[in-house]
Amino acid sequence: MKKADFDLFKIENSIVPKQGRVLVSGPFLHDIYFSKSVVLIVEHNDDGTIGFVINKPVTLNVKEILKDFPDFNADISLGGPVNTNTIQFIHNVGNIIPKSIKILENLYWGGDFDALKDLINDGIVNNTNIKFFIGYSGWTPNQLNEEIKENSWLVTELSNNELMKRNDNVWSDTLSNLGEKYKIWTNFPENPSFN
């Protein structure tokens, strides 16, 4: 039997993690947060990495979580396993929300929550401008690099539009766009023992 010239599950990726890029989970990550997930990196430095899982929506409305929030129908996702008692958000309205942190051109993280509520009440911010997250994903220094070496994550880029819109298929769509090798992953069963 001839040995294959490639390893189907070895990630061959020269893109390094940095703010604004995304992590796409390999097919063997099996937990509630990271199985078939896409994580937007909002901070990456010597202190570690912070990101939000963008494709794990919950069926709650923001008003159900934050009682003093305006009646507002916007996407909420499980951002990750860290500080799940907090609400984080990304948006595309720039510095009209004070204290926002620029992630990419026209994509920002957080900001003054009271100012956000006022902008929603005034009709300046709508549900196409913002995504909310329960908790976040975090890695200690070098932890993410080790997980990448272990083939847990593939690093790539998505457009702001792809990051902001709700797409329950963003994991499989992103892998398919990266070529046949990764497209095959989309057919891998969630639990191989059920196959």
Instruction: Note the helical H segments in the chain.
Output: 62-65, 113-121, 143-149, 160-164, 170-177, 180-183
Structure tokens belonging to residue 148: 């990448």
Average pLDDT, consecutive stretches of 10 residues, N- to C-terminus, the chain (195 residues):
53 86 89 93 97 94 87 90 96 95 96 96 94 97 94 93 88 87 73 53
What domains appear along the chain, each with residue ranges and CATH number? 22-194 (3.40.1740.10)
**Alpha-carbon distance 91 to 106, whole Å?**
8
Cross-strand partners of 76:
132
What per-residue confidence (pLDDT) applies to 54?
A: 96
Q: Which two tokens stand for residue 21?
A: 């890029």
Query: Which CA distances in Å does 46 have to 5, 13, 50, 68, 140?
Result: 36, 21, 12, 37, 9
